[in-house]
Chain A
Amino acid sequence: MSKKILVIDDNEAVRKSFILALEPTGYKVDVAESGEKGIEKVRNTRYDLIYLDLKMPGLDGIETLREIRKIDKDVAVYIITAYHDIFLDKIKNATADGLVFEIFRKPIYSDRIVSITKGVLDGTTEHKYH
């Protein structure tokens, strides 16, 4: 059974970037254009890796993460953001509350998307050195 990835981002170009970049890997990639829709998907499917945008209309990334953790506390979550300063406090709080996640800076190029993903899903430790 192939591993499943969920990309939650309100920007279509970003969602497509992930789909295109991960196409050759054979992983199954789902996308959601909002936090709410993403949570819905997590409720129905078990994902191995979630890419999550921070700044989104409706639920933002951190709020979405809190909901996701209530459903699945093990799934690897990678927050990808261009500009996380305004979320700094929220991120700190989330860390303090024991929510586990990683942060990557946008934009991310194809090869990087692939290497991070493979690192997480196939157990290589590449992501530790970002």
Chain B
Amino acid sequence: MKNKGYNRSSTGHESQIEPAPIILIVEDDEGLNQLINKNLQRAGFFTESVLNASDAIARAAEDRDMIMLLDYALADITCREVIETLTERRRMVPFIIMTGRGDEKTAVEMMKLGARDYIVKDQDFIGILPRVVKRVAGELDKEKRLFMAEEALRQSDARYRELFDAMKSGVVVLDSVDDGKDFVFKEFNRGGENIEKVKREDVIGMSVTEIFPGAKEFGIFDVFQRVWRTGKPEFFPAAIYKDRRNPGSWRENYVYKLPSGEIVAVYNDITERKLAEEKVEKAYKDLKETHARLMESQAQLIQSEKLRTAGMMAAGIAHELNNPLMGIINFAQYCLKHTSGDDRRHPILQDIEQETKKCIDIVQGLLTLSHMKQEGEKTYTNGSCATVIDRALKLLAYRIDMEDVTVTFHIEGEIPEIWMETSEIQQVCLNLLSNSLDALKDSGRKKIDIGIRRSVEFVEITIADTGCGISPENMQKIFDPFFTTKPVGQGTGLGLSVSRSIIEEHGGNISCESEPDIETRFKVLLPIKRKGEGI
């Protein structure tokens, strides 16, 4: 007994509305049943009719959307049993009770059973029935929509919850307390739990300063307050967060304000990334250092190779010269002894003696140089800086003279001897003096001033010239191996780098200051105490 004459009473804008419920009329009085049926159909309902309770149960058990219009006084079983049977079968069918007895008691009983409404069968009840059914149908429809909306909300909530929790980033929702003096946790996702190793339930409702005592020092607290006040999102770049629970980890925060006034912080622990970055950085630095050391040792190798060849020649020559020089000086001294002071030849012989001594000094200088040793066979001795500089000057005497350079050399007070590899320190002095001579080539005023003085636990040697000087941008490079401003063939750029390694090996230090054309000053500090000796 189906009727398709039903017009959807929808307002039209909801396209997804469920089909209207079937009105199942359960009334054992056939005539009345038909009457009701007709009336409801006329009012636009789908209707079905049954005449007894068992048919009603069978129909109602079908999974269809329906409203039962149930007669209270059925012949076979009571309407209560119908409802209970359906409830047992987990079938909740909304129903309206029609009753002949209009007493309160029945009404209460029925409402308790879950009736949507009840209607008393009086003379005009047929007339008002459609209105009652319509209202119940309307209510049901509303409930259903509400349920669907709630369901949709629940689903979307669950979806966002899932999203919220599945994020690797920590997400925290905060509400301000005391006008932004502190913030309490409203939400805390699994990402946050994992990062912080705390439980959500231990955090919710607590304040930021309680859970993250390091937040103020870390700086994020200020950001929270600012964002809360201005509403402007802020990115808080990578920084180290620390407190008594957390020995220090890198955090990166993005903070914004919700329309609700709550603050959201989305953050990441990037400690691992930072550590990896640091490792890469360190590896790079090590590599650079190794490279620099390599360059330096290569430079030293070249320099020492150059020196070795030159040194071997010098040693050979010096050895050959030593014997004749010993002869010359002794012959001259013999003659001096046997020539009276009045003799015109006496001063000439003295000259011979003096000049020969100079030759001997040069030869000694060359010999010292040729003794430049390999690591391990260096021979350290106590030596005088003045002597070393003297020797270097003698080796350069020809150039100094030819190039018309005035050299002054002053020694301030008592200078203690120094534990050194003489030949190497002499090499340093030679390098510095040669550089000065090169720098003076085109200068109007050609002066080199050498000084030695004691400076606490060091002997300080300064070599200053009035030459062209060093520009600030070159200043940082002059100690680099192979850095030279001299034409090809005239400078290898090794002098200063080798000098520096020699000085540092002696536990000393070399530095430079330059004011072009006024003064360029190299300062060498050599420790008086030998390496390893206590203070």
Residue numbers of A with Cβ under 8 A of B are 9, 11-14, 16-18, 20-21, 23-24, 55, 82-83, 85, 106-111, 113
Apart from A17-B326, A18-B330, A110-B333, what are 17 other A-B pairs with CB-CB below 8 Å? A11-B323, A13-B326, A13-B330, A14-B327, A16-B327, A17-B327, A24-B337, A82-B322, A82-B323, A107-B323, A107-B326, A107-B360, A108-B326, A109-B329, A109-B330, A110-B334, A110-B337
Question: A107, B329: Cβ atoms under 8 Å?
Answer: yes
In the complex, A75 Cα to B117 Cα: how many Å?
146
Per the bound structure, the CA–CA distance linking A82 and B326 in Å amounts to 10
Say whether B330 contacts A110, CB under 8 Å: yes
As a 0/1 sequence over residues 330 to 344 of chain B, the CB contacts with chain A under 8 angstroms (1 = contact) are: 110110010000000
Note all chain A residues with C-beta closer than 8 A to B319. 55, 82-83
Chain B residues at the A interface, C-beta cutoff of 8 Å: 315, 318-319, 322-331, 333-334, 337, 360, 367, 371
> B356 — nearest CB in chain A belongs to which residue?
A107
Q: Which of A11, A55, A82, A109 contacts B333 (CB 8 A)?
A: A109
Note all chain B residues with C-beta closer than 8 A to A110: 329-330, 333-334, 337
| Neighbouring A residues of B371 by C-beta, 8 Å | 85
Which residues on B sit within 8 Å (CB–CB) of A20?
A: 330-331, 334
C-alpha gap A44/B325 in the complex (Å): 32
A109 to B371, CA, bound (A): 24
Residues of the A chain whose Cβ atoms lie less than 8 Å from the Cβ of B331: 13, 16-17, 20
Chain B min CB distance to A79 (Å)? 14
Closest to B336 in A: A110
Whole-angstrom distance between the Cβ of A41 and the nearest chain B Cβ: 21
Q: How far is the CA of A23 from the CA of B331 in the complex (A)?
A: 12
Q: Is the CB of A83 within 8 A of B367?
A: yes
B322's partner among A18, A85, A106, A113 (CB-CB below 8 A) is A106
CA distance A110 to B371 in the complex (A): 27
Q: Are A83 and B318 in contact (CB under 8 A)?
A: yes
Q: Which residues of A contact B329 (CB under 8 A)?
A: 17, 107, 109-110
Decide if the interface of chain B is mainly helix, strand, loop or mixed: helix
- Whether B330 pairs with A17 at a CB distance below 8 angstroms is yes
Q: Write 24 A-B pairs (CB below 8 A) sorted by A numbering.
A: A11-B323, A12-B327, A13-B323, A14-B323, A16-B327, A17-B326, A21-B330, A21-B333, A21-B334, A23-B334, A24-B337, A82-B318, A82-B319, A82-B322, A83-B319, A85-B371, A106-B326, A107-B322, A107-B329, A107-B360, A110-B330, A110-B333, A110-B334, A113-B330
Q: Hey, which chain A residues are within 8 Å of B333, CB to CB?
A: 21, 109-111
- A-B contacts, CB under 8 A, total: 65
| B445 CB to nearest A CB, Å | 39
* B328 adjacent to A13 (CB under 8 Å): yes
Q: Are B323 and A106 in contact (CB under 8 A)?
A: yes
Which residue on A lies nearest to B357, using beta carbons? A109
Residues of B within 8 A of A85 (CB): 371
A23 to B415, CA, bound (A): 40
- 5 smallest CB-CB distances across A and B, nearest first, come from A13-B327, A107-B326, A17-B330, A82-B322, A11-B323
Contact partners of A111 in chain B: CB under 8 A: 333
Residue among B323, B325, B327, B329 facing the most chain A CB atoms (10 A cut-off): B323
Q: Which residue of B lies closest to A20 (CB)?
A: B334
Cβ–Cβ < 8 Å partners of B322 in chain A: 82-83, 106-107
**A23-B337 Cα distance, complex, nearest whole Å:** 11
Residue among A23, A82, A83 with max Cβ neighbours from chain B (10 Å): A82
Residue of A nearest to B331 (CB): A20
What residue in chain A is nearest B359 (Cβ atoms)?
Answer: A107
Asked if A83 and B315 make an inter-chain contact with CB atoms under 8 angstroms apart, the answer reads yes
User: Chain B residues with Cβ under 8 A from A109's Cβ?
Assistant: 329-330, 333
> Measured between alpha carbons, how far is A18 from B327 in the docked complex, in Å?
9
Contacts of A106 in B (CB 8 A): 322-323, 326
Chain B residues in 8 Å Cβ range of A83:
315, 318-319, 322, 367
A113: B residues at CB distance < 8 A: 330
Closest to B322 in A: A82
Chain B residues with CB below 8 A from A24, complex form = 337
For the complex, what is the distance from the CA of A113 to the CA of B331, rounded to whole Å? 13
Chain B residues within 8 Å of A21, by CB: 330, 333-334
Interface-central residue, A12, A18, A108, A110, by most chain B CB under 10 Å: A110
Q: Which residues of the partner chain B approach A13 to less than 8 Å between Cβ atoms?
A: 323-324, 326-328, 330-331
Q: Do residues A14 and B315 form an inter-chain contact, with CB atoms below 8 A?
A: no
CA distance A11 to B323 in the complex (A): 7
Alpha-carbon distance A106/B315, docked complex (angstroms): 14
Question: B315: which A residues are within 8 A, CB to CB?
Answer: 83
* A-chain residues with CB within 8 Å of residue B323 when the two chains form the complex: 9, 11, 13-14, 82, 106-107
Q: Least Cβ distance of A86 to chain B in Å?
A: 9
Q: Nearest residue in A to B328 (C-beta to C-beta)? A: A13
